[in-house]
Amino acid sequence: MKPINPFITSGYISPKYFCDREIESKKLKAELINGNNVALISTRRMGKTGLIRHVFNDQQISKSFYTFFIDIYATKSLREFIFALSK
């Protein structure tokens, strides 16, 4: 029988599998609740999308905000960026 890997490497699954970013989660929630704009800047694969999905999974946040995700990594020009946003 194959052992099940307890580590998720394919992105955010659910709060059950989200760990160790409680300080960042609380800060992000507070900024959103206070009406502030937030920019998360980091290199790829550091957990930005997982953090955002985790925070927006919170009922207090999800009732007040609409979210959408656009992958713009492959865009190489302003034209491609605008096209990605228009989809």
Per residue of the chain (87 residues), give pLDDT as tens: 566 766 666 666 776 667 778 899 999 999 999 999 998 888 888 888 889 888 998 888 988 888 888 888 889 999 999 998 888
- Asked if 24 contacts 51 with a C-beta cutoff of 8 angstroms, the reply is yes
Largest Cα–Cα separation, the chain: 51
| Residue-wise burial string across 55-69, b where 16 or more C-beta atoms lie within 10 A, e elsewhere | bbeeeebeeeeeeee
Q: Give yes or no for a contact between 12 and 18, defined as CB atoms under 8 angstroms apart.
A: yes
